[in-house]
Structures are given as C-alpha cells and as structure tokens.
Structure 1
Amino acid sequence: MKKIKAILPRNKAIIWSLILLITLLWGYAWVLMKEALEYMGPFTFSAFRFGIGAITLLLVVWIMKIGLPPKRYWKHLIIVGILQTSIVFLLVMYGLEFVDAGKSSVLLYSMPMWSSLLAVKFLGEKITPVRMTGLLIGMLGLLTILGWDIWTGQSFEVIFGEILIIIAAISWAISNTYYRLNVQELPKIQASAFQMFFGAIGISIAMLVMEWGDPIVLNVTSMYYILFTGILASALCFTVWFFIISKIDMVTATISTLLVPIFGLVFSSILLDEKLTAGVLTGSALIIIGIIIATITKKNPYAE
C-alpha cells in the first residue's frame, strides 16, 4: 500500500506534464495553421500535415517491430481516423479562413463539454458535483473569451466558420468516446499511426476534389509549418493524447485541454497581433480555475 501511494503522485505528475506539453504544442500550432493558409489551401495543408504525421508514426511502428493491428480493429481505426483526423481538421482548417486563430481554438475546445456528456452516456462515467462545477466554470471562461461578438455584429462567413469548428469539436468528442470503447487495447503508437493514416487518406481525397490545381508555395517557412504540425502537433501529441485518455477518466482528460485555447490566444497575440482583451484574460482565469476545481477529487483518477 505504501508503494502504491508513493507511485500515485509520480503518475499524477507525469500525466500533467504530458498534458501541459501537448496543450502547449497544440496552442502554438493554431498560429501555424492560420499562417499556413498564406501558402496553400486549407485541405492541402492538412493533407501534408497528417501525411507527414502518419509517415512518421508508421516508421516508428516499423522500427519498433510492432506490426499491423489485428484485423478486427481495422474498421474501428478507420472510424476514429475519419472522426478525429479527417472531419475535425477539414472543418477546422476551412473555418480558419473566416475566424481568427485564437477564437477558433476556443470554439474547438468546447470539446470537453460534448465529451463529458458522451462519457456519462456511453462510458458509464459519473460527473460529480465538483467536476460539473469545474466544467461549467471552464465553459463560462470560453464564453467570456468569445465575448458578445459571437452573438452580434458578425458576418455570415464568420458565423459559418464558427459553426464548422463547433461541429469539429463534437466530432472529436465522439472520437474520444469511440476510441475508449473499441480501440484502447491497442498499443497507443500503433492506434495513433493507423488512425492518422486513414484520416490522412480522407483529407487527401477532399484535397484532390476541392483544391486540385490550386497554387502551393513550398519554402522554408511553409515547410516548417508542415513539419512542426505534422511531427510534433500531430504524430507526437495525438499519441500522447491516446495514452492520457486511456489512463485517466474522460472528463478529467478533456477538461484539461481547455488550456489549449489559453496558449492559442497568447501565441496569437504575440505572433499574429490578435488582441488580448480584458474578456480574454478573465476567461482564461476562469478556465484555469475550472480545471483546478474539476481535478480535485477524493478518488485518484491516476490509479489505473
């Protein structure tokens, strides 16, 4: 018992270190995703990004001699790939043509709300009053960041882009739940590699249909955007994400991703000159408070 108690804090520290790493990388990636649209179409960039990410992971799987997943998992990996990679990033990248990078990240990370509802319905998880309070405070933070302009004074194009990104958030939430139900027994790097491979195929098909013949500028800057988002923000981060959601409950894991829009807004302010208003700062504070409250629980979620 003493040994278990000694291990739990270390596991908790490792999990939160990984969460901090991927949310920081994902937050920075929003800036690169927005900037990449200056060099190529949204679907073309996503095809490059996830093609590179899938190739990277498949090489690692080959080097580690993990092999192919059992045939019974292929259907599930295709579904996860379509939900988490194809749908999410086709919609997000198209929406970014109309919506600021910082605000787009806020909309996508409404995902914890949808994931929490699905986790209760399909995974049998319980949202305690404490976690519900944390989730509601975090979502209030998102609404505070978005401000009143989400309701008034926006063009049809901006509203359309925002709706696409919210649909992407729902698709990601469905993917999280589907993964937990059908795929989590696989090695995490194998699951990430093959779902990303199938997802990249879906994105490539959309790119060929929608952007065939459109100009593509490949230079040092655009290649940096592709390689960073493909290798680090995709291959590395999604493998770590699958590890996290297999180790702790869905509600805690997804609420923690509310850190991403905070990092996204900070990087957007520094690199894209998007404004950090009082509403943004207040909303960010609410998100952090919500995460802290939601992860205070008597039962240690890191004990698995």
Structure 2
Amino acid sequence: MQNRNSSNSLVTLLEKNRYIIWSFILVITIIWGYAWVLMKESLDYMGPFTFNAFRFGIGSLTLLGIIGILKLELPAKNEWKHLIIVGILQTSIVFLLVMYGLRFIDAGKSSVLLYSMPIWSSMFASKILGEKLAGVKVIGLTIGMAGLLTILGWDIVLVQDMQVIFGELLIIIAAISWGASNVYYRLKLQDIGKLQVTAFQMLFGTIGIILAAVMMEWGEPIHLNANSIFYVLFTGVLASALCFSLWFLLLSVIDMVTATLSTLLVPIFGLLLSALILGEELTTGILTGSVLIIAGIGIAQLSKRRKE
C-alpha cells in the first residue's frame, strides 16, 4: 500500500509540474541516445549476441525486481504465450539484428533506421487493426519512407559497400519486427500493465538471445574490464530497466502522441553523440534521410493528435 501511495504521489507531482516531465523526457532520451554509442563500442570487447545476453539478462532481472518491490500483479497463464511472442519480436529479433548490424554501419545511422518503427507500426495497424491511413498521416508516412530510401539510395549509389547496405537492411528488418510487436501487443496484451509486459517480454526475449549467443559465439573471447562492465550495466540497468520504469510512469501523465514524438529525440541524440564521441561522419545522405524520417513521423503523429 505504501508503494502504491508513493507512486500516486509522484504521479500527482508530475501532473502539477510540466517542467519536471520534460526534464525527465530529456534525460531519458539522452540516455537512450548515448546507449547507441556504448552498444557500438561494446563490440570491441565481446560478440554482439553475448553483449545483448548480458545487457537484457541484467535488465530483465532488474525489472522483475522492481515488479516484486511494487508488488504488481503477475500476468495470467493464458497471457504467457503472447508475452513469449512479443519477447521474440521486440527483444530477440530486434536487438540480435541491431547489434549484428552495428558491426557494419555507424551507431548514429542505426538509431535513425531503427526509430523508423512508427512507420511500420502504422502500416501494420492499418492492415491488421483496420486503422485508417488518410490525409496528413499518409503524407507524413510517405515522407518518412522517402527518408529511408534516401539513406539506402545514397549508400547504394555512392558508397557501394555491400556490408554497409547489408547492415542497414538488418536494422530496417529490426524496425519492422518492432512495429509488428507493437500491433501484436495491442491485439493481445493491451490490458496488462506496461511495466509487466516489458519485464516479461524482455525475460523471454533474453532467453532467445542467450540461445543465439551460445550457438553463434560459443568459445569467442569475452573481455570483461571496467569499460565493458560499464557498457553492460549502463545499457542493461539504466537505459533498459530504470529508464523504461520511469518512462511508463511518464506515460500515466502524458498522451501517447506526445510520447511518440518525444522518442524521436533518441535518434537525434544518437546521431549527435555518435558524431561527437565516435567521430562518425554525418553525410548529406544521412542528414537528409534523418530529417525526412523524423519529420514524416512527426507529421503523422501530429495529424493523429489533431484528429483526437
């Protein structure tokens, strides 16, 4: 009861102070943007699948611990199979492809391509959930797709590096899988608390990642030192578990359109921090495509808000 009262008091505080809300959003999106830098650097110390196994193993255990502390209700037995499917789509497939793709392309570009997810979510929602795509939303999604094609087209025509193009396609497939998981969640798991869904789908997704790491990277060297341990703890505990917990608290006081628009700060910070810390080049193709993707998603979401 005390935990629930504390949570309600914090929600009340957030509702009364919008500056605190936007400060939290800014901090969370910066952390998520910086996580892309660490994901890229982690490849110097261990295989991509092994890093994900450490990251999400620690992250899911932390989330389960938070659920235990808050004494939240566990999902029903008939919901476990849906959590497994979401875990495979949203954690296993997405981050196995993302981390493997990072071997070939820059972290900043990867963050932009993955956060094209709302484009794919909207398309799946239109086909599966029967949501109408009309007017400004179609324009926004078209602009977003043009941004994807700009980045790919630039590398196909000018860079002509098949490894780079392969890595980009992996990230785009990851974005499609993420979009599919969102629609599946709305079909099967919408009545469960978001924190519980995230914790258990991450747990089941981690099992898939561990299996991939054992099959693909067994026997490969793992260099555990101050840097690599920091990367795992930062991305697993802070960026995954704690930031998601705070994010779900924010979702109780802000609408989903504002939340979606806020997440577009992540690829922006991902691009900037990757350029500053890793020295990644921001080419005309990347910048043009990124602006189009972010603007397109923003336009599509703003049209939804106007309709509501």
1:90 corresponds in structure 2 to 96
- Higher alpha-carbon deviation: 139-148 or 265-274: 139-148
2:203 corresponds in structure 1 to 197
Alpha-carbon distance in structure 2 between the residues aligned to 1:265 and 1:146: 17
Residues 120 and 126, structure 1, Cα contact 8 Å, conserved in 2: yes
- Secondary structure at the residue paired with 2:159? coil
Residues 118 and 297, structure 2, Cα contact 8 Å, conserved in 1: no
Equivalences for residues 108-257 of structure 1 within 5 A: 108-144=114-150, 148-239=154-245, 240=247, 244=251, 257=263
Q: Could you give the per-residue CA deviations for residues 250-296 of structure 1, whole angstroms, max 9, x where no partner exists?
A: x8865654433222111110000012334444444445543543343
**Are the structure 2 counterparts of residues 45 and 175 from structure 1 closer, same or farther at C-alpha, using a change threshold of 3 Å?**
same
Give the Å deviation of 1:184.
1.9
Equivalences for residues 51-62 of structure 1 within 5 A: 51-62=57-68
Equivalences for residues 282-293 of structure 1 within 5 A: 282-293=288-299
- The one-letter amino acid of 2:185's match is Y
Equivalences for residues 60-99 of structure 1 within 5 A: 60-99=66-105
**Are the structure 2 counterparts of residues 49 and 144 from structure 1 closer, same or farther at C-alpha, using a change threshold of 3 Å?**
same
Give the Å deviation of 1:214.
1.1
**Are the structure 2 counterparts of residues 129 and 23 from structure 1 closer, same or farther at C-alpha, using a change threshold of 3 Å?**
farther
Q: Could you give the per-residue CA deviations for residues 190-232 of structure 1, whole angstroms, max 9, x where no partner exists?
A: 1111111111111011111111121111111111111111123
1:3 corresponds in structure 2 to none
Q: Does 1:260 align with 2:266?
A: yes
Q: TM-score, normalised by structure 2?
A: 0.82
Structure 2 alignment gaps of length 5 or more: 1-14
Structure 1 alignment gaps of length 5 or more: 1-8
Q: Could you give the per-residue CA deviations for residues 156-199 of structure 1, whole angstroms, max 9, x where no partner exists?
A: 32222222222111111110111111112112211111111111
**Are the structure 2 counterparts of residues 104 and 296 from structure 1 closer, same or farther at C-alpha, using a change threshold of 3 Å?**
closer
Q: TM-score, normalised by structure 1?
A: 0.83
**Are the structure 2 counterparts of residues 174 and 261 from structure 1 closer, same or farther at C-alpha, using a change threshold of 3 Å?**
same
**Are the structure 2 counterparts of residues 74 and 14 from structure 1 closer, same or farther at C-alpha, using a change threshold of 3 Å?**
farther
Residues 99 and 158, structure 1, Cα contact 8 Å, conserved in 2: yes
- Secondary structure at the residue paired with 1:184? coil
- The one-letter amino acid of 2:226's match is V
Alpha-carbon distance in structure 1 between the residues aligned to 2:169 and 2:294: 25
Q: Could you give the per-residue CA deviations for residues 9-50 of structure 1, whole angstroms, max 9, x where no partner exists?
A: 989999877665544332211111000000110000000000
- Higher alpha-carbon deviation: 25-34 or 48-57: 25-34
Residues 155 and 165, structure 2, Cα contact 8 Å, conserved in 1: no
2:8 corresponds in structure 1 to none
Q: Could you give the per-residue CA deviations for residues 125-165 of structure 1, whole angstroms, max 9, x where no partner exists?
A: 23341222233334434444556124443333222222222
Alpha-carbon distance in structure 1 between the residues aligned to 2:221 and 2:183: 38
- Secondary structure at the residue paired with 1:296? helix
- Higher alpha-carbon deviation: 291-300 or 31-40: 291-300
Alpha-carbon distance in structure 1 between the residues aligned to 2:17 and 2:128: 26
Alpha-carbon distance in structure 2 between the residues aligned to 1:21 and 1:139: 29
Alpha-carbon distance in structure 2 between the residues aligned to 1:179 and 1:133: 26
**Are the structure 2 counterparts of residues 45 and 293 from structure 1 closer, same or farther at C-alpha, using a change threshold of 3 Å?**
same
Give the Å deviation of 1:242.
10
